[in-house]
Amino acid sequence: MNIIKSSKALNRYLNTIREGDSKVTIGFIPTMGALHQGHASLIDESVKNNACTVCSIFVNPTQFGDEADLDKYPRPIEKDIKLLMEHGCSILFLPAYEDVYPKNYTHKEFELNNLDHKIEGASRPGHFQGVSNVVSRFFDIIEPTYAYFGQKDFQQTAVVRRLIEICKYETTLKIVPIKREPHGLAMSSRNVRLSDKGRKNAAFIYKSLTQLRDDVPELGLKESVSKAKQFISAQKGARVDYLVAVDSKTLEEVDQIDDAESIAVLTVVEYEGVRLLDNIILK
Ligand code: PAF
């Protein structure tokens, strides 16, 4: 695996690959490091389908509301490099702040059709604009054929789809299903902050989502959502931040299963002081 730290060097390197073979495809996985098996599944998917896989590790300050959170963000770079090598990643892009955001860079406000303000965006103002800025910088540098994002950050995938549309990127978005721990908890860098017992118990989140899916034919969507919320709230130490059924494209809330062509249920549950994201696609 090649480790490249400068955007100019990466762009040059990828152009040489593209010039050598016009049919070559480049897969890209943006990350903030602290890689786990969820990230590995994105790398695997790209390695399987592309001659060249680029993974970036960059803890992006513009998507953090709280500086303390940014400082606390884990940076186990040696471990990350090992995982990337084991999974056959071709290039690790490890840029410095000034390379991603040069002095003359002006932070952009993308027209995201309000996707950035609702649900997760409501409690994290500016977060999705920060994500959009960094992802668009990476797309400009790398010009990937495919970009791989995890379904776990469902709202982020909707934002990136919109970004690709408005910036007319020639990149195809690939969404990789959620990777789960043996008990069902969605894999996340945050899971290490749970106690061992909490990590097993937190399976109730996924259980509530699958039960919700099974309840819909009999109870209808609205009633099933409210039952799932009650179930989670009844778990000791758990607090539902949100649990909503939405149109997968617009993220508008829906009440009935026929209200949209594709529907997902998104949730964040606070448990042992950790915000745990999960979702399920209903149709
Ligand atoms: O999902 C993440 O880890 C980040 O939001 C991303 C896409 C790498 C942008 O910083």
Of 148, 166, 168, 169, residue with least CA distance to 157? 148
pLDDT > 90: percent of the chain: 96
Angle (deg, nearest 10), helices 154-167 and 127-142: 50
pLDDT at 109 over 90: yes
Give the mean model confidence (pLDDT) for residues 117-141. 97
pLDDT at 27 over 90: yes
Residue 16 to residues 9, 13, 144, 190, 266, Cα–Cα distance (Å):
11, 5, 14, 38, 42
Residue 220 in contact with residue 256, Cβ under 8 Å?
yes
What residue ranges line ligand 1, CB within 6 angstroms?
A: 30-32, 60, 63, 131, 134-135, 153, 156
Local confidence band at 174 (pLDDT 50, 70, 90 cut-offs): very high
The angle formed by the CA atoms of residues 223, 232 and 278, to the nearest 5 degrees, is 90
pLDDT at 69 over 90: no
Reading the block at residue 95, the tokens are 């840029």
Which helix H or strand E contains 238, and what residues bound it? strand 238-247
Identify the structural domains of the chain with CATH numbers, from first to last. Answer: 2-176 (3.40.50.620), 189-281 (3.30.1300.10)
Question: Which residues have C-beta within 8 Å of that of residue 178, sequence separation ≥ 6?
Answer: 38, 150, 151, 152, 186, 187, 278, 279
CA–CA gap between residue 73 and residue 263 (Å, rounded): 32
- Mean pLDDT (the chain, rounded): 97
Atom 2 of ligand 1: nearest residue by CA position: 31
Closest ligand 1 atom to 60 CA: 10
pLDDT at 165 over 90: yes
Local confidence band at 243 (pLDDT 50, 70, 90 cut-offs): very high
pLDDT at 51 over 90: yes
How far is the centre of ligand 1, averaged over its atoms, from the C-alpha of 244 (Å)?
22
Give the mean model confidence (pLDDT) for residues 110-137. 97
Q: What is the pLDDT of residues 181-216, one digit of tens each?
A: 999 999 999 999 999 999 999 999 999 999 999 999
How far is the centre of ligand 1, averaged over its atoms, from the C-alpha of 32 (Å)?
6
More confident residue, 282 or 74: 282
Of 203, 141, 167, residue with least CA distance to 12? 141
Local confidence band at 72 (pLDDT 50, 70, 90 cut-offs): confident
Residue 257 in contact with residue 263, Cβ under 8 Å?
yes
Give the mean model confidence (pLDDT) for residues 219-245. 98
In one-letter notation, the amino acid at residue 185 is L
Question: Which residues have C-beta within 8 Å of that of residue 126, sequence separation ≥ 6?
Answer: 62, 63, 65
Atom 3 of ligand 1: nearest residue by CA position: 31
Residue 244 has what pLDDT?
Answer: 98
Residues in the chain: 283
Residue 79 in contact with residue 73, Cβ under 8 Å?
no
Residue 66 has what pLDDT?
Answer: 87
Of 128, 110, 152, residue with least CA distance to 65? 128
Residue 67 has what pLDDT?
Answer: 87
How far is the centre of ligand 1, averaged over its atoms, from the C-alpha of 29 (Å)?
9
87 catalytically annotated:
no
